[in-house]
Amino acid sequence: MQPFEYARPTTKEDVVMLLSADWGETEVLAGGTDLLDRTKDYLSTPKRVVSLQAVKELRSIRSSAAGLSIGATATLTELAATLQVRRDYPGLAQAAASIGGPQLRNVGTVGGELCQRPRCWYYRAGYGLLAQDNGKPLVPDGDNRYHAIFGNSGPAYFVSPSMLAPILIAFGAKIGLFGPAGARELPLDQFFVTPKSDQDREHALRPNEIVTEIVVPPAHGAKSAVYSVTQRETLDWPLVQAAVVLAMEGKTVKSARVVLGHVAPVPWPSPEAEQALAGKTISQAVADEAGKAAASKATPLSKNRYKVQLTRVAAKRAILRAAHGEA
Residues 310, 284, single domain; the answer is yes
Residues 257, 259: Cα–Cα separation, whole Å: 7
Residues 72, 207, single domain; the answer is yes
Among 195, 216, 237, give the residue marking a domain's end: 216
Among 216, 235, 264, give the residue marking a domain's end: 216
Residues 256, 304, single domain; the answer is yes
CATH (domain of 86) = 3.30.465.10
- Alpha carbon separation from 47 to 105, 178, 250 (Å, rounded): 28, 21, 57
- The answer as to whether 131 is a domain residue is no
Instruction: With CA atoms as reference, report the closest residue to 221 among 251, 243, 246, 242.
Output: 246
Q: Which domain holds residue 104?
A: 56-115+160-216
Instruction: With CA atoms as reference, report the closest residue to 4 among 54, 55, 39, 41.
Output: 39
Residues 183, 235, single domain; the answer is no
- The answer as to whether 43 is a domain residue is no
Above 80 in pLDDT, residue 25? Answer: yes
Residues 47, 97: Cα–Cα separation, whole Å: 34
* Count of domains forming the chain: 2
Residues 273, 302, single domain; the answer is yes
Residues 181, 232, single domain; the answer is no
Question: Which pLDDT value is given to residue 327?
Answer: 56
Q: Per residue in 226-275, pLDDT tens? A: 999 998 777 678 999 999 999 999 999 999 999 999 999 999 999 999 99
- The answer as to whether 291 is a domain residue is yes
Q: What pTM was computed for the model?
A: 0.96
- The answer as to whether 280 is a domain residue is yes
Instruction: Return the percentage of the chain with pLDDT > 90, whole number.
Output: 94
Q: Per residue in 101-157, pLDDT tens? A: 999 999 999 999 999 999 999 999 999 999 999 999 999 999 999 999 999 998 999
Among 149, 184, 216, give the residue marking a domain's end: 216
Confidence of residue 52 (pLDDT cuts 50, 70, 90): very high
Residues 164, 287, single domain; the answer is no
Residues 277, 173, single domain; the answer is no
Strand order in the sheet with 61-64: 61-64, 67-71, 210-216, 174-179, 182-187
Residues 72, 201, single domain; the answer is yes
- The answer as to whether 236 is a domain residue is yes
